Amino acid sequence: ACVGAPSTVEGQDARGMQQLAREAWRQLRTGAEDSIEAEVQDMATYEALAEVQQAACEALVRMAQSVEDYKHKAREAGAIEAVVSAMSRHPQDAQVQQAACEALRHTVCRAEVSQECAREAGAIEAVVSAMSRHPEDAGVQQAACQALEDIVLFIDGNKVRAREAGAIE
């Protein structure tokens, strides 16, 4: 089986290699215990790999739907800061930006302490930047609008910050 591996990789362009890396990452993660802390750690360990950042953000979204007290646990684990860092490190990667916006949305929705944490971490500016860098990407635009809506809900200071960051433009 290993003898054929080089032929699988030979001739792959950058996008093809990214797909191979993403698939390998998913295979490694299959069966591993999903935990918020593990995803945040992976994001820190593999911060230069956009594929890992995207996969971790997607995992955070899945956990938001199944982990009890997710928002509190995610905030305590540093997930908000990790997601904002991923957005800052991979600004040109629309898939990372979309997944990160979705992760932010699920982490802050109706949770004022998390909304404040997101503001302090620079999430508002990161989301506005994603919208500016990917104006033709409907997925990024939708995820970013939803994230902004949830970040500013209930917090007047966040609304002001979003306005100052250019969210209304």
Block mean pLDDT (10 aa), the chain, length 169: 39 61 56 74 96 97 89 95 98 98 95 93 96 97 95 78 75
Is 2 exposed, middle or buried (CB count within 10 Å of its CB: 0-12, 13-18, 19+)?
A: exposed
pLDDT of residue 33: 42
pLDDT of residue 12: 53
Rounded to two decimals, the pTM is 0.78
Domains and CATH numbers, the chain: 1-32 (no CATH), 35-165 (1.25.10.10)
What residues contact residue 17 under an 8 Å CB cut-off, 6+ apart? 9
